[in-house]
Structures are given as C-alpha cells and as structure tokens.
Amino acid sequence: MAVDDTQASAEESPAASQAAPEVALKPWSAFAYYDFTMLWLGGTAASTAMTIRLLISSQWIYDKTQSEVMLGLLMLVQLSQIPVVLFGGVLSDIVDRKKLMAMTQFVSFVSLMALTLAAFTGTLAVWHIFLVQGVTGMVNVLGGSARPAMIARVVPRALLSHAVSTNTATFQVASIVSPLAFGVAYEFFGVSWAFGLAMVVSAVSVITPYLIRVSGKPADLTAKITFTSTWKSLLEGVTFVRRHKILPGLYLLDIGVTIVSFYRFLFPIFSDHLYGLGASGTAMLTSVNGLGGVAGSALVLYTAKIPRKGVLVLVATALYAFLLIAFGSIHVFYIGLIIVACLGATDAVGMVMRQTVVQLTTPDRLLGRASSAHSFAAMSANHLGGYEVGIMSALVGAGPTMIIGGVVSIFVVGLIWKFVPGVASYRYAPDAERDAAENDS
C-alpha cells in the first residue's frame, strides 16, 4: 500500500484501481485501506474540534448574554464563508489537496490557541468568538472540499458509497463524543480548559494529511492559478451541478427545510426554553442528535438494493418535518432526547445520499467543485437557518419556532416532490451515471 507521491497517479490511487471485493462489505471494510484511515482520522479530529469550539462558544455567549438574538448572530457571522466556499472547490481541484487540508486546519489550531489564552487570562470577550468564527469559517471552507474529494483516491471505486456512508457515520460518532467532552470540560473545568481540549484535538487534524501516502496533487498537473483560470474553473463546476439530473433538486430540498428549522448549535436555547436546563442539557441534546445521525448513516448502508433513492430522501425529510413539530410541542426532556435522536437520523439519510450521489456521478477532476457546491448549499441554509431560528425563538419562543418550521418543511417536501420530478423519479445506477458524467465532462 505504500505509495510515494512521485509514483502515484494524481488521478487514481492504487486503492481506486483495485477490483471490487468479493466478500460482503462490513461497516469497517473501508478501514482496511491505510490512506482512508488517515483521511478519516484527520476529518474526525477536525469535526470534533469544530463541534467542541462551537458548543463552547454558543453556551458561553448564551450564559453571558441570555440572548437568543446573539446566538442567531453567531450563526449569521458564518455567512462570511459563503463568498469563498465555491473557490475552495476550485482550489481543491488545482492544488495539492493534502497540503490544503493541513494549512487550513493550522489556522483553526492557532485560533483555538488564541481563544484558550484569552480565556485563561480572563480577557475573553464576545467579539473574540465572533472574530474567530468568521475567520476560521472562511479559511476552513477553502480546505473543506479537499477532504471529500480525496475519498475517491483512497478506496476502490466499488467501495465509494460504502466509504462515504462510513465516513459520515463515524463523523457522527465524533458528534456524540464531542458534546459529552464539552459538557464535562465546561461544567467541571470551565471555558478555559474546554477551549484547551479543542485545541489539542485540532492539532491531530493538522498532522494527519501528511500521513496520507497517495498523491494529493491535482488531476491536471499543468493547471495554473490565475484569475481567468479560477473563474473559468468555477463556472465549469457551476455548470456541471446545474445540469445534473438530481443534485439541484436535492439542494433545493435541503435549503428549503433547513432555513426554517436549523437547531444544531442552538441547543442552549432549547435546553433553557423547553426544559429549563443549562450546559448539561445542551451536551445531552447534541450528543443524542449525533447518535441518531450514526443510526441514519448506518441505515443507508443497508439500502443499497433500493433503487428509488430520491423517494427515500423525500420520505426521510417528511419524517424530519413531523419530528420538528413533536420537538416543539412536547416539553418532557427524556422524550425530547428521543425526538432529537430521530431528527439526527432522518437528517443523516439525506446528507449521506447527497454526498454519495456527488461521489458516484462526478469525475475526479470536478469532485472538489461538486463537493463545494454541496457545502455552499448546506452552509448557506445552516447559517441563515440558525439566524432565523434564533430570532424567531426570541419573538415567539423556541417551541413555536420548531412547530412553524415543521409545518413549512412539510410544504417544501410536497413542492419538491410535485414540481421537481427529477428527485422522486431518480433511480440509483452509479456505474452508468458515473460513466455518463465522465463522457459529458
């Protein structure tokens, strides 16, 4: 498996060129490939550090200000990512993806170090967190498309769907552990040590890209970074996604639902408004949401023989909408934990399917840009949704906000089902669609 960058093709890894395994796939099959393990480890560390940082930031700001609007603004400031997210996809297709991952994660590490020092010296202020949120958001999206774009190089093509599902499921495991780590560190040791924990975890994400042995160099080794070439590459990626048979419909569905219902990292509001709890409630709600995400991602592993993937996403999203109504209506904490876990599961089904479709229907040289389009849609919806939910919670309360979001989401699912027929009629045929994508490109 050891492959030097100078020997490996930039377009295809040794893993990608192997034949499909003859044995039945197991949940850990992708980890048989060293490079996938390193890619996964770095991504898990980055996700864990980011989750802990966001939980600390939101809980500390809410404890200090008791303002739902401030939490909404914390989500809104992340819109600074949007202007650069598509260019991150271009970068991941024309520069070394491993170096891009390492450099962008280094900025996150330094930012966490600054917050840790400010907390220990007693000088931490709300504006410090807003600044770090904006800066790290912009930098991280520049490297965010490089990680999913590397998956096709570190596993055989026959394992792509499995690797994406495994990657998503194990990232969700991080989202279970991260809130618990946050809860313990924040409750028992304070904000200083909690930020310090996130900083240590972040260091792993800086190192691991250099441990990946397959090449991270672009497929087109002659590509030059100029304004003209960057703009041309960006337009090429936008055109590919716009003409895709299913991705535009899936993105519209995600945006329409998320923008009225985003609740992650706003759990301090729900913990307080619905259950009268503090950081411990935030930690438990976030953790069970991740647990549900693992279950949803695992469910996708067992739906390989179901051809109507579009209908699967629509049904999962409709269930998500009804669960939102239940979440806002029932104020019993332990029932709320079950509902939040189910919300995580239904949300994960749609997320995994979107990522899988991107991987299986996009040529390698466009994977970075296609992945960045997915990030663009998801992050825009998340940040606008976080702001909307924060403002609405301040105006009408957290419970009614979720009920309204659930009702609107049901209408969105119905509109997409009826007026964007490509989603409901989509049939899963990865080899045929990947070959067609290669020919079209």
Write down the CATH number for the domain with range 29-440: 1.20.1250.20
Calculated CA dihedral for residues 36, 195, 133, 324, nearest 10 degrees: 80
Query: For the chain, which residues make up each domain, given as ranges?
Result: 29-440
Cα–Cα distance measured from residue 8 to residue 238, given in angstroms and rounded to the nearest whole number:
29
pLDDT digits over 207-239, tens only? 998 898 887 777 655 555 554 656 676 677 778
Query: Token pair of 222, please?
Result: 């002659």
Q: What stretch of H or E contains 331?
A: none
Tokens 């904000």 correspond to: 191
The pLDDT of residue 403? 96
Read off the pTM. Answer: 0.69
Q: Which parts of 208-258 fold into alpha helices (H)? A: 227-243, 247-258
DSSP for 143-198, please give it.
HHTHHHHHHHHHS-GGGHHHHHHHHHHHHHHHHHHHHHHHHHIIIIIHHHHHHHHH
The pLDDT of residue 21? 45
The pLDDT of residue 92? 66
The pLDDT of residue 220? 57
Distances (CA, A) of 382 to 115, 184, 205, 235, 322: 24, 27, 23, 24, 19
Cα–Cα distance measured from residue 359 to residue 161, given in angstroms and rounded to the nearest whole number:
8
Residues near 333 by beta carbon (within 8 Å), at least 6 away in sequence: 274, 275, 277, 281
Query: Token pair of 426, please?
Result: 């989509």
The pLDDT of residue 7? 36
DSSP state letter for 14: T
Cα–Cα distance measured from residue 42 to residue 171, given in angstroms and rounded to the nearest whole number:
10
pLDDT digits over 291-341, tens only? 888 888 778 767 666 777 778 888 989 999 999 999 999 999 999 999 999
DSSP state letter for 19: P
Q: For residue 257, report the phi and psi dihedrals to the nearest 5 degrees.
A: -80, -45
The pLDDT of residue 171? 67
The pLDDT of residue 77? 80
DSSP state letter for 219: S
Residues in the chain, pLDDT under 50? 1-14, 16-23, 227, 433-434, 437-438
